Structure 1
Amino acid sequence: MILTVDVGNTRIKAAVFEGNTVLENFVFEKNELEKKIEKILEKFPNCSDLVVASVGNIDKQSFLTFENELKIHFLTNEDVYPFVNKYATPKTLGIDRMVLASGATLQFPKQNRLVIDVGTCITYDFIDENDNYLGGAISPGLRLRYEALHNYTAKLPLLAFEAPELYIGNSTTQAIHSGVVNGFVYEIDGFIDEYRANFSNFIIILTGGDAVFLAKRLKNTIFANSNFLLESLNQTFQYKIDND
């Protein structure tokens, strides 16, 4: 069994795998890390490896606490991946984006792939049908957009995410929800349209915490999987073992 851990900017997600089968998923706060991993290992004592991909600020020692119980692996840019990295600044490419690109390459061979990860930020990552990673885009996620409107204006309130009732917001609250959420959807559809216009044999993979919500609103046909990063982390580790 393998325990995969994705340390994001906001929260931590984890999953236990038996081969490619997910046995259980977990989501928790960063300050709960050691306690949660301890409980996971109590429930799944046959875990042999702990695989970590981290873009968040967290001390590695928190993981190394468990090095007597299982092997611990921190994926980095230096590991072996199933694609050719043609990013102009490859060492600055986030490990989460590399893992997503790896999963897309392994799960959807010989296709042009666009992976859209909706979290604190939205990341777009494109891998062509010849397994070349070409790059993508980064923009603010839903929470950052709400916070920006509040933090950089004098009177706009900080709102929690809510699907807009109307296209035309008939109050300040509804206008914010319409602007943030509809703008979010239009942005993603716009990027997809641009890629579709330039590439055939094309698949779009949507993942992240808001994937299910967005999948119902995008005009484009997509493959939505909120656990795609954790699945990709497991597959990338298996690929690393086979190709090191």
Structure 2
Amino acid sequence: MLLVMDVGNTTIVYGVYKDKELVHDFRISSDKIRTSDEYGLIFTDSLTHANIDPAEIYDVVISSVVPNLRHTLASMVIKFFNKKAIFVESDLKLNIKIDYDNPKEVGADRIVNAVAVAKLYKVPAIIIDIGTAMTFCIVDEDANYLGGLIMPGIGISSEALFLRTSKLPKIEIIRPDILIAKNTIGAIQSGLYFGFTTMIDGIIEKILINKNWKREDTTIISTGGFSTMLTSDSKYDIIINRDLTLEGLRIIYEMNKDQNK
């Protein structure tokens, strides 16, 4: 079985593939303080709890946007799985061309999502990843990764309101029933939800105009923790794929597995 791991600033999402089937997926908090041994116990215990024998893991592929965890997780994979992990980098075989000023600056998660979309969907495509940060990535009809936009996610924005104001409370991020709220908590929830959903639709529209792409010829796909909440009611037909990054990791592994032989 193949262990794939997407390391984000808030969450580590990982899954186990048997051939092309995602057998199980897990989510844990991303903690820079944990040691390789602590991570190893978490990973092996969670696999065992899901009736997956850690000894059946034949390889590991990781995308990470947290540099401080790279050595920790690399050491963990060696110690607990007796493998050398493949880390996603721009110089791997990807079957996409990264058209960026410095390809090494592109986040591993953005690369993985672009590879997955180019393989699994029709291009051109707009990819919206809604996590701690929110990113828009653009892949053209020739599978060139053209770059995109990066902005604070809804969670960061909510936290900033709480931390940087004197009287606004910390709130649960939900889809509100009404636009014009009559209490402070409702007003914040409405502002965050409708602010972000309107922004998402607005940026999609600007990208389509900028690239002169027809809506019906363009795949628009969202992923990440808040993807379902923030894109379900879009005026655009957005495909929601919460496992997009895991799929991309599997695809990248298939293209690069010989490097670990």
TM-score, scaled to structure 2: 0.86
1:2 counterpart residue number: 2
When the two chains are superposed, the root-mean-square deviation of aligned CA atoms in Å is 2.0
1:53 counterpart residue number: 63
Asked if 1 retains the 8 angstrom alpha-carbon contact of 2:154 and 2:192, the reply is: yes
Asked if 2 retains the 8 angstrom alpha-carbon contact of 1:15 and 1:22, the reply is: yes
2:176 counterpart residue number: 164
Point out 4+ residue stretches in structure 1 off by more than 4 angstroms.
none
Cα offsets for 1:88-144 (capped at 9, x unmatched)? 2322111111111111111125x2011100000111000000111111101111111
1:74 counterpart residue number: 87
Consecutive unaligned residues of structure 1, counting only runs of 5 or more, are none
The code of the aligned residue for 2:14 comes to A
1:141 counterpart residue number: 153
Q: Secondary structure at the match of 1:106?
A: helix
1:191 paired with 2:195, answer no
TM-score, scaled to structure 1: 0.92
Cα offsets for 1:42-87 (capped at 9, x unmatched)? 4233210011111123152343233253342112222121111111
1:230 paired with 2:246, answer yes
Aligned ranges 1:13-162 → 2 under 5 Å: 13-30=13-30, 31=34, 33-40=39-46, 42=48, 43-44=52-53, 45-56=55-66, 57-67=68-78, 69-109=82-122, 111-162=123-174
**Structure 1: distance between partners of 2:131 and 2:173:** 13
Cα offsets for 1:170-218 (capped at 9, x unmatched)? 1121111111111010011111122333213200111001122223221
% of aligned pairs identical? Answer: 31
Q: Secondary structure at the match of 2:56?
A: coil
Distance 1:46 1:19, change over 3 A: same
Asked if 1 retains the 8 angstrom alpha-carbon contact of 2:129 and 2:222, the reply is: yes
Distance 1:50 1:164, change over 3 A: same
State which of 176, 179, 187 in structure 2 corresponds to 1:175: 187
**Structure 1: distance between partners of 2:47 and 2:170:** 39
1:209 counterpart residue number: 225
2:255 counterpart residue number: 239
The code of the aligned residue for 2:102 comes to T
**Structure 2: distance between partners of 1:40 and 1:176:** 36
Consecutive unaligned residues of structure 2, counting only runs of 5 or more, are none
Asked if 1 retains the 8 angstrom alpha-carbon contact of 2:39 and 2:76, the reply is: no
Q: Which has the higher helix share?
A: 2
Aligned residues: 243
